[in-house]
Amino acid sequence: MTAQAVLLDLQNNMPTAQLLRNIIEHYPVLYLFNCQGNFEYSLQDLTEFSSWISSGQVVILDTATSPQKEFEYAVIVGQLMALLEADTHVEIISAQGSSEMLLNMMQETGIQANLIQVQPAESAVELSKYKMPSIEKIKTAPYLQMVKQYCDAIAKTTAKPQTLDSLKNSVANILHVLPEKAQHLVGMLINLKIVKRYDEQINFRKKVLKKWSQLRLDEDAVPVSKNMQDAFSQLNLPQVVEEKATPITPNVPQDLYANFNKIDLLQLQVMKKLHELKEKKPKDIYALRDLLEQLFPKSDIRLLLKELIDKGYIYWNGHEVLYSHEMFLN
């Protein structure tokens, strides 16, 4: 039976304690992370939360702060590679527009995963009052498609237009249209409440712009849930097994220590191989994984990486693999 787990991104997406209970009731382990580092609950809920951590039902992942979201997610994926059992299926719940990047990175490393996208908590009420054209209407209206194309481009820039003239020039440059058509599109941006006008000055409504930029017109787009409760209803809940198993530390195979001598021998072989590479040792965690799979095709590389990390032989800071001197002294 395939093992299952939930990976919950807490940024702009803080669930209630009751919702956490519901998830924990159905899944053997829940992984939590917040790249902003915030975590707030009442003292009573925190007491229960600490018991979940002690029992191994909840695991809080380390995060790194970086202007590049890819690096932040790389730290998360690296830990999951070491912690997850082989063939574990992970349900990702996130309110971040960049969460598909996380999904793709996990799938590229061989982790089976599915994404449930939810609206950010603080914008759910405000955005519920805003009605944008349907996907079908956008697909059949060329001007709406150009509005969507412009939102996709301008959402990625830090220096946005602040006047009507600069907005018109921006539209013309990004979409490669004539001034008359650019003027019409400026009017649409204002009417669609993507842009707010103050005489000759303008500014972008960030949350509306974000909603347009995150809108997927393709059929394979990830549907956005209204809230965490809606997301929970979409989880593919594993069947509850009547037999009560003996609790074990999550993510560590039950036979890990039964074959400890065998694993140590393999680690020694890995150290010798890496020592022979000298300066050519892989700096990328995925390159290291691929190398080990080539050298030891019959071995459990996930387990091997976890052991090397746990014993301090290697360390991954989210950017590159660092090798301990102890690795070559033992």
CATH number at residue 320: 1.10.10
Contact in structure between 13 and 94 (CB atoms under 8 Å) = yes
Statement to judge: residues 84 and 190 lie in one domain: no
Residue 242 lies in a domain: no
* 196 and 176 share one domain: yes
CA angle 175, 178, 181 (to 5 degrees): 80
pLDDT at 246: 46
**Which range marks the domain in which residue 182 is found?**
133-214
Q: Is residue 51 part of a domain?
A: yes
- Rounded to the nearest angstrom, the gap between the alpha carbon of residue 149 and the centroid of all alpha carbons in its chain is 24
Residue 250 lies inside a defined structural domain of this protein: no
Answer whether 267's CB lies under 8 Å from 316's CB.
no
The answer on 89 and 31 residing in a single domain is yes
Q: What is the pTM of this model?
A: 0.46
Q: Residue 41: its pLDDT value, please?
A: 60
* 168 and 69 fall within a common domain: no
247 assigned to some structural domain: no
Of 235, 188, 298, 300, the closest CA to residue 92 belongs to 235
pLDDT in tens, 25-76: 888 899 999 887 666 666 566 777 888 888 888 998 988 877 788 888 998 9
Same domain for 28 and 105?
Answer: yes
Separation between Cα atoms, residue 226 and residue 205, nearest integer Å:
20
Residues 33 and 107 occupy one common structural domain:
yes
DSSP-assigned letter for residue 257: G
Q: What is the CATH number of the domain that holds 20?
A: 3.40.50
Token representation of residue 209 = 């712009």
Q: 239 in a domain, yes or no?
A: no
- pLDDT recorded at residue 14: 79
- The reply to whether 8 and 111 lie within a common domain is yes
The one-digit pLDDT tens for each residue of the chain (330 residues) are 678 899 999 887 778 778 888 888 888 899 999 887 666 666 566 777 888 888 888 998 988 877 788 888 998 998 999 888 888 999 999 988 788 889 999 999 899 999 988 876 555 445 456 678 888 889 888 999 999 999 999 999 888 999 999 999 999 999 999 999 999 999 999 989 999 888 888 989 888 898 899 888 875 455 555 555 666 666 666 654 444 444 444 444 444 334 334 445 667 777 777 778 877 888 888 888 888 888 888 788 777 777 777 776 777 666 677 776 555 444
Q: Distance between CA atoms of 212 and 203, rounded to whole angstroms?
A: 16
Is the same domain home to 223 and 167?
no
Domain tally for the chain? 3
Asked whether residue 185 falls in the same domain as residue 311, the answer is: no
What local confidence, expressed as pLDDT, does residue 248 receive?
Answer: 42
Q: Are 91 and 238 in contact (CB under 8 A)?
A: no
Q: Tell me phi and psi for residue 228, to 5 degrees.
A: -65, -35
Q: Pick from 121, 119, 11, 113: which is nearest to 61 by CA?
A: 11
Tell whether 241 is covered by a domain. Answer: no
Q: Which two tokens stand for residue 137?
A: 């209407």
Q: Which of 8, 87, 113, 112 is nearest to 52 (CA)?
A: 8
Q: Which of 171, 201, 234 is the last residue of a domain?
A: 234
Do 223 and 263 share a domain, yes or no? Answer: no
What pLDDT, on the 0 to 100 scale, is given for residue 249?
Answer: 45
Do 11 and 107 reside in the same domain of the chain?
A: yes
Q: Determine the Cα–Cα distance for residues 260 and 254; give it in Å rounded to an integer.
A: 12
Q: Is there a single domain that holds both residue 64 and residue 143? A: no
